[in-house]
Structure 1
């Protein structure tokens, strides 16, 4: 039996992949790529074995199976053997993935991968249904509604978790610390992600939160830095906290733009793949937004991919202190390759490296200062104990002006609510660290 033409074409495509800059779409054909059967050897003996299996299934399996289902199963199986991030995309899946990079899509607001045959949560995105329902980075989803996820194709799992806004889905989760699996009911919604938010913290420190890297994230980061600077009427920002916790990544070019905003030059990231055109070095421009003011980057196990690129670049350039817990460790490049029938491949084509040559893959970024999340308690009430400031007519300490309220004190967020840094131990520690650096630099300057 002659191997199906579609399968032959697929093998040629698998061996002829170009990497784009970030998450790109690329229609491939042998004519466009200049690939011929003489240049790419076709494993005809293995294809003959495939044809025999194909024929046996078509002729003897207990139920009739369509050619389309068999071919899709074969393609899924090949990609599943490669790595957790390579998968086959139907036309609908391909269209949804394009929409996701623009920041609006339907579903739960969760980034997932596979581990030991199960679906693993990389990170829930802030403010989404998954986040509100209590899902956490590292959770293993063992059932979607009543369907076991063991050895389920990743894109099929993603497709099952999507649905009509307002509809409920039950996720059965295994988590470290759980004695047995627990069910989480999540209500689907249209996910609209504002990738960047900001506010002022005490002592002239800005806070910049990047939730996900979308096509316009780089430009939005600079917009928010300008807003923070405008709020700081008494002078320049004295420092910045860049929060990348639970940021699952996204568009590579956006991550490069964000890192570029804070470094003066040199490498930001480079990639290496099997083909020479998979090797790519992305460098920073000489201008930077903060004029060298001290920075802290907050990361955790939910910081993945593009987040790790930014953290690694700033760490290697000695531009910021990385604080938190080790990151996820996704250091591979996926290219979205459009096929001739409108479907596509999400295929791993290269590895990321930090400017100093560190591979992120399966290692992640280790923080300079390890800070685990803890619950911060408010200061104890001193009861009826008197202090000097309680005495009627006490003298004011003019040297503290600006430390108690006002522009240097408890500053307000964009929404007019007090920042919640006192309830966030890692953010609180980052602020204390920055304050110490600012005070030391002030003493050295004077």
Structure 2
């Protein structure tokens, strides 16, 4: 068993998930005397449990639980992971693993679906963003970490896992049985939504995302030499590798542009990422994938689509393109995860995924808790998105990091919560008035297929590129946010 002081001694070489390259030693951090009284208390509690608990407890299990509790208390994204979880995260980086294809997080100590990944078993089973998973097979998920839940949902291809889903928008709980398969993530997809216009969807940021995007852009340029406009879809993109985000944004920005800056406690966390090859190079490619990129993608009119599940690395891209006036953001305010996590191997069988820095857009904006606000707020459905009140963002987590730039954050979050409560009350009133037939119709409403002709938000983006009128969001809160006003400020008319 390792001695407790070893926990405070070393932070070694980094692996690559949404990371900063460079924390090398705990000595880089602010030094302080060890809190001997608290360590003594910890040892006494440990001894008391060993002596008096109702059944014997394994030393390693107890100490691991203590470490996990310590790390998870920091913020929603810091976690201590074991060997299996470490391997799982590496598999996700490379884009190939066995499972059902789902991005998850936590809400009220339950597992929450951030987004099903396109064209995976979870996607085809009808799992939706915002669903809560209350059981995985026969195991309740209350208090289970996302990494533990991920391990439960992984398994051999062809085997089945039954998830118990609570869908807040429908106020019902139901089981879904999903068959596991080998997930081969294709993070970049393209389409032609209308003659002269290109559509690029990025589902996550992996090692191969930048070269895959570069190849797709070259194909688009060959097939559409007179391209009039480009739509970059980042909806339901939960993030991924910082380097890949830098490469994607860099494909559309002038050379050597700042894409994102980071700042934390240690010196190595303070840096600027530019769209230079050295800042987006990954181990899976040995030459600059953006070299000889068609010049049209540096200036073609561009729209970026976002929603509440656009998070982390995808917010870096949206923020960089918005700050550089390179693209118009259309859609919904993003999730608001403005922090960077570093994966730090601790032993041969464990690692620490820890928040090490805030990140900032090129103009210096922190989007932590706030998100990227669209230039033009647009709903996902033509008749509005009444379920928006049920959406959970970064700011709703009880132990979220504060936005250190925003002196009025607490008041703004309180005002947002009051607005959410009011919107939920109106939603309940509407639900109470619905007939059983209307409720069933809402349940059966087809999920939007991003990039299809039925994608209302995409059609509004095309209208913007064509110079036609748009139908802006019916959400008063979204309109206020888009105008840069506090949630309680009366909103004026917004027309486009």
Cα RMSD of the aligned pairs, angstroms, is: 2.7
- Cα distance between partner residues in 1 of 2:135 and 2:196: 47
Partner SS, residue 195 of structure 2? helix
Residues 19, 278 of structure 1: 8 Å contact kept? no
Q: Which moved more, 1:262-271 or 1:293-302?
A: 262-271
Partner SS, residue 318 of structure 2? helix
- Cα distance between partner residues in 1 of 2:378 and 2:30: 56
Larger Rg: 1
Specify which of 87, 104, 108 is matched with residue 79 of structure 2: 87
Quick check: 1:78 aligned with 2:78?
A: no
Structure 2 counterpart of 1:7:
4
Quick check: 1:257 aligned with 2:247?
A: yes
Structure 2 counterpart of 1:321:
328
- Cα distance between partner residues in 1 of 2:26 and 2:453: 60
1:243-302 alpha-carbon deviations (Å, 9 max, x no partner): 111111111100000000101143211111112221121123598651411001111122
1:147-181 alpha-carbon deviations (Å, 9 max, x no partner): 22222222111111111222222222233322222
Structure 1 counterpart of 2:399:
none
Give the 5 Å matches for 1:309-388: 309-374=316-381
Relative to structure 1, is the Cα distance of residues 21 and 289 closer, same or farther in structure 2, using a 3 angstrom cutoff?
Answer: farther
Specify which of 250, 256, 274 is matched with residue 265 of structure 2: 274
Residues 26, 337 of structure 1: 8 Å contact kept? no
Aligned residues: 385
Give the 5 Å matches for 1:33-432: 33=25, 35=27, 39-232=31-224, 235-264=225-254, 265-285=256-276, 290-374=297-381, 421-432=452-463
- Cα distance between partner residues in 1 of 2:29 and 2:246: 37
Gaps of 5+ in 1: 377-418, 438-446
Residues 193, 451 of structure 2: 8 Å contact kept? no
Residues 29, 265 of structure 2: 8 Å contact kept? no
TM-score by length of 1: 0.80
Q: CA deviation at 1:220?
A: 1.3
Q: CA deviation at 1:37?
A: 12
Partner SS, residue 143 of structure 1? strand
Relative to structure 1, is the Cα distance of residues 374 and 36 closer, same or farther in structure 2, using a 3 angstrom cutoff?
Answer: closer
Relative to structure 1, is the Cα distance of residues 27 and 273 closer, same or farther in structure 2, using a 3 angstrom cutoff?
Answer: closer
TM-score by length of 2: 0.72
Residues 324, 369 of structure 1: 8 Å contact kept? yes
Residues 342, 353 of structure 2: 8 Å contact kept? yes
Residues 225, 289 of structure 1: 8 Å contact kept? no
